[in-house]
Structures are given as structure tokens and as C-alpha cells.
Structure 1
Amino acid sequence: MTDRVGQHGASPDLPDATLRRWPAAVRPYAQLARWDRPIGWQLLLAPCWWSTALVAVATHAAPNLAHLALFTVGSIAMRGAGSTGNDIVDRDIDRAVERTRGRPLASRRVSTKQAAAFLVAQSLVGLAVLLCFNGFTVALGVAALLPVAVYPFMKRITNWPQFVLGLAFAWGALVGWSATAGSLAWPALALYAGAILWTMGYDTIYALQDIADDVGAGIGSTAIQFGDRVRGGVGALYGLGLIAVAAALVGTGTGVWGWMGFAGFAAHLAWQVSRIRREDASHARALFHSNFGASLLLFAGLAVQAWASAAHP
């Protein structure tokens, strides 16, 4: 499992078609940042948008559009930085796996020093976005670096690296709330827990594509851990995640629009579980990619609820 979220492509050594039109000197860096595969930053963004809308519901205000835009830029930058850092750590493993040996570092199209400089540049963009928020949120954002730094190493020692990935990818559920409120409240923590479990579930689906390579490389995943019971494992993760998200909605007094969004999100996750086939890698990839659409159902319900609450406090 090398950089699990959103990197699969049709070829192990060529960028997606959109990147082939870019200057040759730029392509390796675009691949390091996964700019040709936006699903990674989209899934990183989703909890930020959820919590921005949820805190708006709690405060009877419209969602902060500036915050939504800033989180979008920050998610793209930090997703790219995380992918670059992961490739630096995994460059030797990537050379041993057919699907990943064509990556820029594994194929030596960029040096480790060049990749490290690119990592710093992307991180500075993320820092610039973070500094637009209040001091509490800045400190909270800096704290997110811990699970981000630990994640690439966890797959070497456990079959549960998806938990650490969830800690990192769900962090926006905390930051989105604090950016408006200047502090945290228990609904934000409940939303964070739900987002962690959602991340673990969709990344387990993604990991179905790489079981053979992961076993051969000696790295772990929840797809390996669950084995033939992967459908039940993902179902349990999604189910517990939905309970946590529902608690967050109850805690903010969400109305009918918010619950409609939640119902759509829950139905989508149930559909995913019903369609899991352990042996079908291409189908697993499609299910994984559908999660951003699922996340937008929840966000739309919460956003409409916030606007309705602001109009009729």
C-alpha cells in the first residue's frame, strides 16, 4: 500500500493524458503532487466543507464562502505535499512494485533533493492558507502534521495504517469548525470520528486493488486484515461512522435539510458496501472514486440547512 488514496492510473510509468500536454520538465512534479488525480485532495477537502457547513448550522449563519475557498486551495497543496513526502519515504518499495516503479522518484526522473524542495514549496502554500485563520486554528493545523508524518511508516508495522490515514484525512472536520468558532465543541469531535471511520472504509475499498503487491512488499492494509470478510469490515466502519456523524448533527440541532443530506450520504455508503467484490480491482477503484460524490450529498444538505437557518433564525 504505497500512498493509498487516489493514485491508481492506467499505466505505472506514464502520467494521465492531461499531464502529457504539460511541459516535460513539469510532469514529474505534477505526478508527485497527483495533480492529474484530484480525488485525493477532494477527499481531504470533504471534512473541511462538512464542518464549515455544520458550524454554520450551529451558529444560524450562512457557510463562510471564503473559508470554503481557502480550504480548497489548502487541500490541493497539502495533498500534494503529503503525496510527495510519501513517495520520498517509499521510493525503494516503489521500485520493487510493478505498478509504482515508474513514479518520478522510483524511476529517478527527479532526485530526492528536488522532491524535498518541492515538498517544502507545497507546504509553504499550505502554511500561507493556514495563517489566514485564527490562532487556535493555526495551532490545530500544525498539529495535523503528526499523523501525516507517521502514516507512511505505519503500513510497515501494522495492517491498520488506514486508521492513521483517517486521523490525517479527517482533520479538516476539526479545522473547519475552529476556523469559524475559534474553538472546538463536541459535535466537531463527533464529526471528526465519523470522518475517520469513513476514510478507513473507503481506503479499505481502494486497498483491494493492491493486495497481492502489498503482501509481496511486506506492507499491511485493512483489506488484508479483513480478508474474505472485507464487505462486513467496510460495512462496520461505515456504519459506525454514520452513527458518529448523526451524533454531530443532533448536537447542532440540524433540521430537515441536513438530515436529507445525511440520508443521501448513508444510502450511498450502503450502496457501496453492497457492491464490494474482493476480487474485482477495477470495480473497487470505481467505488472508491464515488466517495467524493457521496460527500457532496452530506455537504449540500448541511449547506442548505445553514442558509435556511440564517434566513429564518
Structure 2
Amino acid sequence: MQERLKLYLLLIRWDKPVGTLLLLWPTLWALWIAANGVPPLGTLIVFVLGTFLMRSAGCAINDYADRDFDRHVQRTEQRVLTSGKISAKEAVAVAAVLALVAFALVLTQNTLTVQLSFAALAVAATYPFFKRFFPMPQLVLGVAFSFGIPMAFAAVQGGIPPMAWWLFAANLLWTLGYDTAYAMADKPDDLKLGLKTSAITFGRFDATAVMVCHILFIGMMALAIEFMGMGLAAWIGLAVAAALCGVQAPKVFSRDRAACFAAFKSNHWVGLALFAGIALQFALR
């Protein structure tokens, strides 16, 4: 049983927390903004745990969906499901259990938050299948990775103001950018397999598209900070985030697999910088 548990932890990427952090930081931006400072402790705990659980469930269902493709991709050929260390049924069971626990947590929140959780689950569960037919599945991932924002506002304020959707759109663009860099690392393998990704759809403009998404994201966050009347701390956080996006340019334009993957992973620092600026801004009020 202990050995199975180790395999299940590998399935949910316990050893690779970047995905969880990329999902968590925008949710924390939204919680702090919605609460005008530190959110209620119970709500914060629910969203932090829920983020981890849903990202973990997403990894399990993603590996189930891609089990016949992953063995042909250099970066994923040794994953525990595609290598046969666990079965497809086990992966689905792990995803189901994690999703149920996450749903139990959401049930402690208000009705609107619970209702939004159904849409979030539907997007997360179907995203892995979009790469078979949709030319830009990274947009669907962007929706999945942005759903924590309206849910956070719903949980704290009982409604979803226009600012929540503005942040949702900004985060979607950021996700499209960094996940295109991620897809660039697998581009040769995905082309052979006939899969669809934004890196393939953008063609020779893939690296340019990554940086344009980052620029639009930073611009939209700047407008949000200005509209909310935030001060110096938030602007410093944004400036650091913009610089971190900028240093990714040489890596993505090199189109080297390892460099593109490193650029993708570095984005969690972008999210952290923005959160630090927002949280410090509210703390100084």
C-alpha cells in the first residue's frame, strides 16, 4: 500500500508543485482584492486546499486522457500511468476521490460558489481531450486556471463584479502565454502525433505569441491596479512581474526544449510577485 501511495503521489505531481502555484496565485489575488485585505481564514483554507486537490485531480485525469500519447513524448514517457506502473482505472479513481474531497470543501461556501464549482469541474475534466480537435486547447486551460477568480469573489462578496471578469481575462492571457511556452517544449512530438496545441497553431510566431500574451497580461493588470487606486507596493509587484516575464524572452525565442520548459516553470514567480505586491498594499493601508 505504501508503494501504491508513492505512485499516486507521482501521478498527481506531488514532486512538481509549479502547476499548483500557477493555479493558486491568481486565486489569492482575487481573495485579497475581494476581501479588501486578508480574507476570512476559513475561506482561505478552503481555496488553498481546493486548489491543490483540483490541480492534483486534473493531473490524474490528464494522464488518463493522454495515456496512449505520453509514451511517444520524450518528456512524459516515464509517467506512472503510461509506463504501466498503475492502471487507467486507478488514475480515474484517484481523480474522482480528489474531486469529491474538493467538492466537500466547496459545500462549506455559499450557493453561488457551489454553482460555479460545477462549471469549473466540467472545464477541468474535459480540457485534456481538447488537444485532439481544438487548435488552441491552451485557451481552455486558461479558463480552467482562471475559474478560481470568480469563485473567490463569489465566496467573499456573494457576487461577481466586473473586476473579477477583468482579472479572469488577464489571467487567461497569461495562461495562454506560459502554456504555449510549455507546448513549445513538446512541439516536435505533438506534430508527429497529430495533436493540436497553440504552439503548433501559432507556427513560426509561437515565441512572439508568448511574449504578446505576457505584455497584454501585464497591461491589463496595470489597468486593474490603476482602477482600484492601489499604491506603490502593488506597482512594484507588477514591475517585478513584468521584468520576470521579460527575461523569459531569450528562452522562448531559442525554441530549445529545455529552455522553453524552464521559461514555463519560472512563471510561478510572476504570480508570486503580483500577489506579494497586492497583499503588501492592503497590509499598508
Q: TM-score range by the shorter chain?
A: over 0.9
Percentage of matched positions with identical amino acids: 39
Residue of structure 1 equivalent to 2:33: 54
Q: Deviations over 1:140-176 (max 9, x none)?
A: 1221122213311211113311100000011112122
Amino acid of the residue matched to residue 9 of structure 2?
A
Distance in 2 between the 1:64 and 1:272 partners?
36
Residue of structure 2 equivalent to 1:293: 269
Amino acid of the residue matched to residue 102 of structure 1?
Q
Mapping for residues 88-107 of structure 1, pairs under 5 Å = 88-107=64-83
Q: 1:35 aligns with which of 4, 11, 14?
A: 14
Distance in 2 between the 1:56 and 1:67 partners?
11
> In the TM superposition, what is the alpha-carbon distance from 1:88 to its structure 2 partner?
1.4
> In the TM superposition, what is the alpha-carbon distance from 1:180 to its structure 2 partner?
0.9
> In the TM superposition, what is the alpha-carbon distance from 1:223 to its structure 2 partner?
1.5
Preserved CA contact (<8 Å) 1:187 1:249 = no
Residue of structure 1 equivalent to 2:150: 174
> In the TM superposition, what is the alpha-carbon distance from 1:34 to its structure 2 partner?
1.0
Distance in 2 between the 1:99 and 1:287 partners?
15
Residue of structure 1 equivalent to 2:50: 74
Mapping for residues 73-222 of structure 1, pairs under 5 Å = 73-222=49-198
- Identify the range of structure 1 (194-203 vs 240-249) with the bigger mean alpha-carbon deviation: 240-249
Distance in 2 between the 1:62 and 1:100 partners?
39
Q: Residue 255 in 1 paired to residue 231 in 2?
A: yes
Preserved CA contact (<8 Å) 1:54 1:249 = no
> In the TM superposition, what is the alpha-carbon distance from 1:139 to its structure 2 partner?
1.1
> In the TM superposition, what is the alpha-carbon distance from 1:67 to its structure 2 partner?
3.1
- SS class of match (1:91): coil
Q: Residue 283 in 1 paired to residue 262 in 2?
A: no
Distance in 2 between the 1:98 and 1:262 partners?
35
Preserved CA contact (<8 Å) 2:207 2:255 = no
Mapping for residues 20-31 of structure 1, pairs under 5 Å = 23-31=2-10
Residue of structure 1 equivalent to 2:23: 44
> In the TM superposition, what is the alpha-carbon distance from 1:65 to its structure 2 partner?
4.2
Q: Write 1 or 2 for the structure with the bigger share of helix.
A: 2
- SS class of match (2:186): helix
Amino acid of the residue matched to residue 24 of structure 2?
L
Aligned residues between the structures: 285
- Identify the range of structure 1 (29-38 vs 267-276) with the bigger mean alpha-carbon deviation: 267-276
> In the TM superposition, what is the alpha-carbon distance from 1:80 to its structure 2 partner?
0.9
Q: Residue 243 in 1 paired to residue 219 in 2?
A: yes
Residue of structure 2 equivalent to 1:13: none
Unaligned runs of at least 5 residues, structure 1: 1-21
Amino acid of the residue matched to residue 14 of structure 2?
W
Change (3 A) 1:141 1:246: farther
> In the TM superposition, what is the alpha-carbon distance from 1:74 to its structure 2 partner?
1.1
Preserved CA contact (<8 Å) 2:117 2:151 = yes
TM (norm. structure 2) is 0.93
Amino acid of the residue matched to residue 140 of structure 1?
L
Distance in 2 between the 1:66 and 1:300 partners?
21
> In the TM superposition, what is the alpha-carbon distance from 1:98 to its structure 2 partner?
4.4
> In the TM superposition, what is the alpha-carbon distance from 1:113 to its structure 2 partner?
2.1
Residue of structure 1 equivalent to 2:283: 307
Amino acid of the residue matched to residue 184 of structure 2?
L
Preserved CA contact (<8 Å) 2:72 2:189 = no
Aligned Cα RMSD in Å?
1.9
TM (norm. structure 1) is 0.85
> In the TM superposition, what is the alpha-carbon distance from 1:134 to its structure 2 partner?
1.7
> In the TM superposition, what is the alpha-carbon distance from 1:119 to its structure 2 partner?
1.3
Distance in 2 between the 1:136 and 1:247 partners?
27
Distance in 1 between the 2:190 and 2:39 partners?
41
Preserved CA contact (<8 Å) 1:258 1:301 = yes
Q: Residue 229 in 1 paired to residue 205 in 2?
A: yes
Change (3 A) 1:278 1:221: farther
Preserved CA contact (<8 Å) 2:35 2:157 = no
Amino acid of the residue matched to residue 216 of structure 2?
L
